[in-house]
A = this chain, B = another copy of it.
Amino acid sequence: MRIIGRTNTLRKVISRANRSGRTVGLVPTMGYLHDGHLSLVRRARKECDLVVVSIFVNPIQFGPGEDLGKYPRNFKRDSSLLKSLDVDIIFAPSAGEMFPKGFSTFVEVPELGKKLCGRTRPVHFRGVTTVVAKLFNIVSPDSAYFGRKDYQQLVIIKKMVKDLCMDVKVIGLPTVRESDGLAMSSRNSYLSPAERRSAAVIYRALKHSKELAAKGVRSSGRIKSAMRRIISSVRPGAKIEYLEICDPGTFEPKKNIDGPTLVAVAAFVGRARLIDNILINP
């Protein structure tokens, strides 16, 4: 396994792989890897000849006052995990390598990026699409792997790839969960033991929405009230940033559940802003 920090070095390795006809898989991460990331890596390992995992805490997807400085990092642990999964290359550039002084180009899907998480994180998805476009250009992967926990991110990246005719297959894989249902996230490390125990309520509320829909409840309002009650019962006064029942392609709110529907939540548990979602199709 090679650890590469420089864009030009990586490009040379990649173009050698291309010339010899090897397929390339990319798993973009911000590090502090959990089983969610590792499921992406395993799939890439199965499907591609050369597997590149990028570890880069992308400063331009954090807004002012967000947790860029505190974002958890453990490169040593990450690299030993990736080595055990037979990854070929870790791409771990510095912030200055990716965004040198004077960097001023952005890739944006403005409409989709304004919805859900974009309402409180206005520069977030612009930062994501810009760094992912750049990684795609550096690595030219045949396939790139993303988790469905960040469902909005996945949809936006697929939209970018389609609109700009990028030659990459974007593969979204299921959210990996702890035994109590909490979606795995690097940000779970922010939780105190008590917060950690109560955090699973988010997924319980999501599962409840699916159960209600399966029972024939169609009103988004009714389902959202039931979900809020579940969350409040465990975390009274919980700061729910959004709880949305919407179209899974456009994120437009739905009054009624008719056909494929995304139920998405962002909530603070302590200082950790957690997101999770479920797709339902009654």
Which stretch in A156-164, A256-264, A274-282 binds the other chain?
A156-164
Closest A-B pairs by Cβ, 3 of them: A105-B163, A137-B165, A138-B165
A7 to B165, CA, bound (A): 8
Residue A167 at the chain B interface, CB threshold 8 Å: yes
**Copies of this chain in the oligomer:** 2
Asked if A112 and B108 make an inter-chain contact with CB atoms under 8 angstroms apart, the answer reads no
Asked if B103 and A134 make an inter-chain contact with CB atoms under 8 angstroms apart, the answer reads no
Which residue among A11, A105, A166 has the maximum number of chain B CB atoms within 10 Å of its CB?
A105
> Of residues 244 to 273 in A, which have CB atoms within 8 Å of B's CB atoms?
none
Q: Which residues of B contact A129 (CB under 8 A)?
A: 105
Query: Residues on A close to B: CB < 8 A?
Result: 7, 11, 103-112, 129-130, 133-134, 137-138, 140, 159-160, 163-167
Q: Which residues of B contact A105 (CB under 8 A)?
A: 107-109, 129, 159-160, 163-164
A130 to B164, CA, bound (A): 8
Which residue among A11, A160, A164 has the maximum number of chain B CB atoms within 10 Å of its CB?
A164
Asked if B104 and A107 make an inter-chain contact with CB atoms under 8 angstroms apart, the answer reads no
Task: Supply 14 A–B pairs (Cβ within 8 Å), ascending by A.
Answer: A7-B165, A104-B110, A105-B109, A105-B160, A105-B163, A106-B107, A106-B109, A107-B107, A107-B108, A107-B133, A133-B164, A137-B165, A138-B165, A140-B167
A111 to B105, CA, bound (A): 9
Within 8 Å by CB of A104, from B11, B137, B163, B165, lies B163
Asked if B134 and A164 make an inter-chain contact with CB atoms under 8 angstroms apart, the answer reads yes
